[in-house]
Amino acid sequence: MFKRLFFICLALTVPILYFEPMFQIWFRYQAIQFPGSTWIGPLLAIVIYFYGGWIFFVGAWREWHSKIGMMTLVSLAITVSFVYSLAVSLGLQGMPFYWELATLIDIMLLGHWIEMASVQGASRALEHLAKLVPSVAHRLVGDRVEDIAIQALQSNDRILIRPGEQIPIDGQVANGASSVNEAFLTGESRPVTKQVGDEVIAGAVNGEGALKVTVTRTGEQTTLSQIMRLVQEAQNSRSQYQVLADQVAYWLTLIAIGVGTLTFVIWLPLKDITFAINRAVTVLVITCPHALGLAIPLVIVNATAMAAKNGILVRNREAFERAKDIKIVAFDKTGTLTEGKFGVQTVYTDGMNDQEALAIAAALETLSEHPLGQAIVRDAETKGVPRLAATDFQAIAGKGISGLVRETTYFVGRPEWIQELGVQCADNLKQGLEAAEARGESVIALMDQTHVLALFALADQVRESARQAIHQLQDAGVQSVMITGDAEAVAKTVANALGIQRYYARVLPQDKASIVRSLKKEAPTVFVGDGINDAPALLEADLGVAIGAGTNVAIESADLVLIENDPLDVARALKLGKATYSKMIQNLLWATGYNVIAIPLAAGVAYSLGLLLDPAIGALFMSLSTVIVSINAMTLRRVKLA
């Protein structure tokens, strides 16, 4: 809308400038003359005033019901200049302000167009949340399976969840065993084993086994629906942030009205009414500089361009203004400080070397789709371990896998399987198991029919850039906090590895926002996350930052998105935010500072000394401030973020 208004008004402004006497004097040309040519300016100005200015009148009307600001100031300036100029065209002595009126509307429309272009559309977080849940469930009716809409499910219904399917509703496992990926919902990085009696949550992904589940919660009572409600509440409760230009415009409007009225009252008895009106109108017109409409948008456009080059997507322009005060950065763990995928940390062996153990385990796990098994396969490939072939492969749901490798039967699975198989475990392996579990690592056991041969300790791998990010934030005086749904041992291990002194473990989805709320009471807080469970916390924080590889709901709930999935970009974003805010302040000073001199001169304070600010000179001041504001905004690109 602003784009269309701007270009149409700009086209109508060109003839006004061409026929403007001041422009003819400045640029030394003679405009063509014909009957009625003197009315081209007034007629086009009328069209621009009502067509281009209407949006500002609507905005001013809304401001009058809350707090006056930029829209009120613009509306006042264009209305006074329009009415006065029309009166001059109809016979009142004075100089019309048609070209000032037209260009002021053009510049303000341009500024709003730039501003709107820098802001992303309304958040679609709730839509992405809704898409996570399948629309159809497999309900068990006796020995028959029927597909029905999840809205038709009721408590105590039994449903079938096949391997690889998303769980459509909250429930309790009635039959079967499987591993379930709940990382997006709970922040738990490892697949969670589900057996009879365990709870499953809507939106999680089933692993290798089939599950029969009894429905326990439907509709608004499901965990996912509760998270959706938290997101919606956070969106609705966020107060509207007043941009700095509006605050400046508020005071400038009061000054303009006050000084303009005072000017008229003082000069009316001292001079004639025409002089008094001229002085008052000049004050009102000069007080609304063109540059004020561009002061903030131009900085934001340059800042967003810089951010994009550094892998930071800006979804909310207010992020720059809030970044300057940040003192606490709260990180989600899984997928943010860690890579969100497992890697082999330690191998404990008995009777064979690490390479041989990896080769046998990888041969079996190659045929499995379990994420922990795939981590072993990746580690074997990375270390160049020779590939072995496995036959007679079998998957035992909830326990592990077995198969023949070099004519020997091997078992790979959970440590709990050791006792069930009745195989012997050496003392050094028992000690290794205890040490790995104390660190919160997941353990996979390799066994033959009589002994435990090896234990593989796996953990979510810490991002190397996360260490650098924490260090840079500490140097900048910003405290780092970790919030995770993982167990205490896992959280402690990752925190120690990164040098984070403060962390929260086993945090439920609905509690993350509460922790962020409490941190905000200590100091302005950033939250950095990537999961669905992070969305309420992202919205609750003073500044929400989403990892780009995260879920759409997290991205849509954030103010900034790290496209490259690099935690170092958090430090860069805060640095850019502070530099951007500084440029905003500088631009506002340049855009309004000349009023300290211009307003008194326009009011006629130096009239007795022979100094009287002509509207044309005031227009030059406005043009100069616009140029300065534009150049100053461009200098933001010199800031080095790396």
pLDDT tier for residue 122 given thresholds of 50, 70 and 90: very low
> Rounded to whole angstroms, how far apart are CA atoms 407 and 531?
44
Of all residues in the chain, the percent with pLDDT exceeding 90 is 25
292: enclosing H helix or E strand: helix 290-309
Using CA atoms, how far apart are residues 370 and 377, in angstroms rounded to an integer? 11
Question: What's the pLDDT tens digit per position in 236-265?
Answer: 443 333 456 667 777 877 888 899 899 999
Give the residue numbers marked as catalytic.
332
Q: Is the pLDDT of residue 199 over 70?
A: yes
Helix %, strand %, coil % for the chain, to 5?
55, 20, 25
- Which pLDDT band, with edges at 50, 70 and 90, does 629 fall under? confident
Q: What is the pLDDT of residues 356-375, one digit of tens each?
A: 999 999 999 988 878 888 89
Least confident of 104-118, 335-349, 444-458, 532-546: 104-118
Find the range with the poorest average confidence among 230-234, 458-462, 512-516.
230-234
- Residues forming beta bridges with residue 394, ordered by sequence position: 402
Q: What pTM did the predictor assign? A: 0.61
**pLDDT tens profile 45-103:** 999 999 999 998 998 898 888 777 667 877 887 888 898 889 888 888 777 878 878 88
Q: 448, 446, 465: which is closest to 456 by C-alpha?
A: 446
What is the secondary structure of 573-604 as a DSSP string?
Answer: HHHHHHHHHHHHHHHHHHHHHTHHHHHHHHHT
Report the distance separating Cα 557 and Cα 315, nearest Å. 9
Number of residues that make up the chain: 642
Q: What is the pLDDT of residue 131?
A: 65
Residue pLDDT, tens place only, 271-294: 888 788 778 877 877 776 567 767
Q: What's the pLDDT score for residue 127?
A: 56
Least confident range of 130-134, 418-422, 427-431, 488-492: 130-134
Q: How many Cα atoms within 13 Å fall on the side-chain side of residue 19?
A: 21
Say how far residue 178 (Cα) sits from the centre of its chain: 35
Mean pLDDT over 184-199 rounds to 74
Domains present along the chain, CATH in parentheses: 134-168+170-217 (2.70.150.10), 302-338+462-577 (3.40.50.1000), 341-461 (3.40.1110.10)
